[in-house]
Structure 1
Amino acid sequence: MNFVIELRRHLYILALFAKNSVISQMEYRFNFITGIFVETAFLMAKLLYVVVVYKTNVHIDGLTPDIILMFIGTHILLTGIYMGFFYNNFQRLTDYVRSGMLDLMMVKPISLQFLVSVRYIEVGMPIPNIIAGSVMVTIGWIASEIPFTFVNIALFIVFVCIATIMTYCIMIIPSLLSFWFVNTSAATEIFSSVWDANNMPHLIYNKWIQRIGTFIIPVFIITNFAPLLVLDKLTRVELVWGILAPIVFFLLIRLLWRRALKVYSSSNL
């Protein structure tokens, strides 16, 4: 019962964060519109992958260009979710640690990890990615003749939610390293590069990279597992791991967060 109460409380606070973020961003509408155009420009560059796939009629281990489009669309969709909920907050966390502003947030009557993770929600920049990603997944889904059943749609949505949790767990790591290191820009660049490299089916990589990207640093769960599931190409081991991985890694991130707070010392001390 306490868990349900706390969950409802945090969802209510998340809704307040979203409301305040919308109000704040609407005060600077030019920046809001500019952000959408900038993200659209980046999106156009990403769509070059789609052009190359269809121009060359590339097939990857039996995956047709239409199916590959689903993978690229899933990646773009998750990019929108990541940019909307987490990116700005992770960048701010590094500044909180360096400036000592984290002290002021510690006294708030709410989970500190929750507060720093979703305090600022970006509204404009994710729009192009979420729309384009959803359209690409839908086009690839129809062209690949995957049945539009309730079960398939529900499973795809569930694994998008799992991918969102995995995105959080993986992409927060560079920001958490700022508790120990002054400059974490190199780690941030590495993780960003890994994220960008995940926009194609993991079958393009050799077996060892596939295993590392699935079971050790499970970035492939983010883009690959939802399309593979509705294509009925997900193995039983991968299916079980896809369900367990977000739980395991969230608990690990929770432990890392607590460890980070123990070594934290305010810059004002």
Structure 2
Amino acid sequence: MKLLRLAWQLSLQEFLAYKTTSILTFILATAFFSVEVITGFVYFTMGNQLNGWHQTDYLLLVTTISNIVYLYNIFFIIGHENLSNKILTGALDYDLIRPVNSYWYLVMNRIDIPSIINLAISGGFSVILIRHETLNIYSIGLYLIAIGLGVGFIFLMNQIAISLNFWIDGFSALGGIIENATNLFSRPMPIFPQVIQIIFTFVFPILLVTNLPVMVFKNSNVIFYLGYLAILEILLFIVSKLMWKYGSQHYLSAN
């Protein structure tokens, strides 16, 4: 909690110092979110269903994906961007010697304030759309767990990709692949070919990450998918911790 308070204070100072940039970031993110919502209305102008998905389901999908991305951005995006640069330039010295867990400190030492505002907008839309689903405490709980797992997957995959910079220069370009993949698969699962569904549900489950929260309200097998994703993320967390441990030992300082 002390780390988060410090991160908030520093981030607020930076936000006030670079107000124009922060406001432009918010405006652009809002514009892209609006395009996604408008696209949903366009898709369903000719009918109420698309491969078993109703317009409300689709709009809930795109707004929920926005929630996942904004949550990741709030806590981790700035830290990950800075971490990649620090590894490549050998500037991790002062961070590694601090009396805190360097794994978490380096990725949570800043908060992306514009994303908080974006999350409030997309989250508000999600609440309105969820009211059209069959609701109970159980389904809402599973929906929130699915969102948490989505944030965790994006964080862990980015953490692993960035940690590769300890050994191989040039892997910083991988930092945006997960976000691009999230955008690419931000569509209902049934519209993809069967082979694509299998690969991106069980091998690299980005399609599961984007669709799982809405599947809570549509699919009775959701517990299996939640369990599968949770176990996979535990394994990814172990891998990311090992990569950080041995990577920081392999780290070469510029000093």
TM-score, reference length from structure 1: 0.84
Match of 1:106 among 96, 111, 129: 96
Partner of 2:3: 13
Partner of 1:135: 124
Evaluate the alpha carbon distance shift between residue 156 and residue 189 of structure 1 in structure 2; reply closer, same or farther with a 3 A threshold.
Answer: closer
* Preserved contact between residue 146 and residue 226 of structure 2 (Cα < 8 Å): no
| One-letter identity of the residue aligned with 2:18 | Y
Partner of 1:62: 52
- Which runs of no fewer than 5 residues in structure 2 stay unpaired? none
Task: Tell me whether 87-96 or 58-67 shows the greater mean CA deviation.
Answer: 58-67
Aligned positions of 1:1-269 closer than 5 A: 11-57=1-47, 59-128=49-118, 130-143=119-132, 145-147=133-135, 149-268=136-255
- After superposition, the C-alpha distances for 1:120-165 in whole angstroms (9 at most, x for unaligned) are 111113422x13322332333233x322x22222221122122211
Deviation, 1:186, is: 4.1
Deviation, 1:107, is: 0.4
TM-score, reference length from structure 2: 0.88
SS at structure 1 position matched to 2:114: coil
- After superposition, the C-alpha distances for 1:86-114 in whole angstroms (9 at most, x for unaligned) are 22211111110122111111100011110
- After superposition, the C-alpha distances for 1:174-233 in whole angstroms (9 at most, x for unaligned) are 322222222225423433321211211222222332222222222234222122123334
SS at structure 1 position matched to 2:212: helix
Evaluate the alpha carbon distance shift between residue 156 and residue 192 of structure 1 in structure 2; reply closer, same or farther with a 3 A threshold.
Answer: closer
Deviation, 1:246, is: 2.4
Distance 2:146 2:173 in 1: 30
Distance 2:123 2:169 in 1: 39
Task: Tell me whether 118-127 or 24-33 shows the greater mean CA deviation.
Answer: 24-33
Evaluate the alpha carbon distance shift between residue 247 and residue 223 of structure 1 in structure 2; reply closer, same or farther with a 3 A threshold.
Answer: same
Distance 2:18 2:226 in 1: 44
Q: What's the C-alpha RMSD, in Å, of the aligned pairs?
A: 2.3
Distance 2:215 2:58 in 1: 10
Distance 1:70 1:62 in 2: 14
Distance 2:6 2:67 in 1: 24
Distance 2:194 2:249 in 1: 39
Partner of 1:3: none
Task: Tell me whether 63-72 or 15-24 shows the greater mean CA deviation.
Answer: 15-24
Count how many residue pairs are aligned between Structure 1 and Structure 2: 255
| Percent of residue pairs bearing the same amino acid type | 20
SS at structure 2 position matched to 1:117: coil
* Preserved contact between residue 78 and residue 163 of structure 1 (Cα < 8 Å): yes
Task: Tell me whether 64-73 or 216-225 shows the greater mean CA deviation.
Answer: 216-225
Deviation, 1:58, is: 6.5
Distance 1:51 1:146 in 2: 22
| One-letter identity of the residue aligned with 1:146 | T
SS at structure 2 position matched to 1:267: coil
